[in-house]
Amino acid sequence: MPMISLYDATRADVEAELVGAPRYRIDQVWNGLYSQFLEPHDITTLPAAVRAQLTESFTPALEPKLRTVADDGKTIKFLWRLVDGGHPIETVLMYYDDRATVCVSTQAGCAMACGFCATGQAGFNRHLTAGEIIEQVVRACREARTLERRVDNIVFMGMGEPLANEPAVWGAVERIHGDIGISARHLTISTVGIVPGIRTLATRPLPVNLAVSLHAARDELRDELVPINKRYPIADLLGACHDYLKVKNRRISFEWALIEGVNDTLRDAKELHALSRRLTPTAHVNLIPLNPTPGWPTKGSSRNRVHVFRDTLLEFGTNVTIRSNRGTDIAAACGQLAAGQPVRVSAPSARESSTS
């Protein structure tokens, strides 16, 4: 029988292992794993024999490979090797003054093939299990605890397409909400726009936030930037967003990575505004200058163009914010996660913008 990973194990799995154990014993295990973020051998409320038994039966799914720190200690990137299969995946922990956010991967690699995204450039290996997603959160919580910080928000915006792996992602959502205790309202699932996935998500009970990686508001351009748009064009995507809002009544956000001269013009601002106001409540737009990746020739919009684009949207009356850009120098920023590869930033935006 294949081994169940520590955070894929259900309470029933633990009960089956600790035959005849009283209920409070299972509670101690659960509390150790999900509230104190400990591995079984460190759960000192348990007798040594139980700790040994659990250690033997349920093993962690992630083997730490590398931990890199940036932004004066405020951004930490973890590189893991999946114990099952050996694929590399990444997780990013970001501290802010008033909160901490963890960005988790949902697949090893990605099959969506967005050309500007480092994970998309590298291709797909396999889906992650719920436990492999949960364990990323637990390990980031363990790290935050060393600074007496707690994790407030989880964004499913790391490697992979969450809605191409919806059942495992939902399994992780339930455990993060119910056992770790981070409310569903503080969880955000980001999608490239998998229409059936959005529809499935709408049937799920908890009110998680939905972010749609739009990047273009006309099919002709979006087909180029986000190839899955050919299968799920903007009209269908918007229809699914509309239906999601009807049942969830949470604001949807549109993610927009600004690419100089490609999607940062007045025309794009107009089209984006028109699209965001077709939803009720209107979509919130998150802007971010495109981060450089090795396999994509165009560059992110300059600071000035980002601000002009934002101000134009504001004048139209669109809800918009510019996302802070964490971890660029350690390739931990949006779209830069390409674990296991020596990610070289081939066209540093700072150098280019200082010469142009």
Q: Which residues belong to the active site?
A: 90, 334
Q: Which of 95, 335, 338, 340 binds ligand SAH (CB under 6 A)?
A: 335
Q: Which residue among 70, 176, 334, 339 contacts ligand SAH (CB under 6 A)? A: 334
Taking CB under 6 A as the binding criterion, the range among 137-145, 170-178, 287-295, 345-353 that sits at the site for ligand SAH is 287-295
Kindly give the pairing relationship between strand 62-70 and strand 100-103.
Answer: unpaired
Q: Residue 133 and residue 12: Cα distance in Å, rounded?
A: 20
- Pure H helices in the chain: 11-17, 23-34, 48-57, 118-122, 130-145, 166-175, 195-203, 219-225, 234-248, 266-276, 303-316, 349-355
Q: Say how far apart CA 219 and CA 293 lie, in whole Å.
A: 24
How near is the Cβ of 116 to ligand SAH at its closest, in Å? Answer: 5
291 lines the binding site for ligand SAH (CB under 6 A) = yes
Give me 201's structure tokens: 């998500």
C-alpha to C-alpha distance for 227 and 211, rounded to whole angstroms: 18
By CB under 6 A, tell whether 210 contacts ligand SAH.
no
Residue among 87, 94, 90 at smallest CA distance from 66? 90
Q: Please pick, from the candidates 50, 117, 151, 210, the single residue that binds ligand SAH as defined by CB under 6 A.
A: 117
128 binding ligand SAH? (CB under 6 A): no
Minimum CB separation of residue 230 from ligand SAH in Å reads 15
Among the residue ranges 70-78, 82-90, 133-141, 190-198, the one whose residues contact ligand SAH (CB under 6 A): 190-198
CB of 65 to ligand SAH, least distance (A): 21
- Cα–Cα distance measured from residue 165 to residue 160, given in angstroms and rounded to the nearest whole number: 9
Q: Considering only residues 257, 313, 338, 339, which one is a binding residue for ligand SAH as defined by CB under 6 A?
A: 257
Site string for ligand SAH, 152-181 (x = CB under 6 A): -----x---x--------------------
Strands 187-191 and 153-156: parallel
Q: Which one of the spans 36-44, 142-150, 189-197, 241-249 is the region binding ligand SAH (CB under 6 A)?
A: 189-197
CA distance 246 to 240: 10
Min separation Cβ 267 and ligand SAH, Å? 20
Decide: is 320 part of the binding site for ligand SAH (CB under 6 A): no
* Piece of the chain touching ligand SAH by CB under 6 A; list 138-146, 187-195, 308-316, 345-353: 187-195
Distance, CA of 246 to CA of 249 (rounded, Å)? 6
Sign of CA dihedral 30, 206, 99, 61: positive
- Toward ligand SAH, which CB reaches closer, 50 or 159? 159
d(CA 66, CA 165): 26
∠ CA(106), CA(111), CA(116), 5° rounding? 95
Task: Determine which residue in the list 143, 166, 255, 264 makes contact with ligand SAH, applying CB under 6 A.
Answer: 255
Binding footprint of ligand SAH, residue count (CB under 6 A): 17
Residue ranges in contact with ligand SAH by CB under 6 A:
112, 116-117, 157, 161, 190-192, 213, 255, 257, 288, 290-291, 293, 334-335
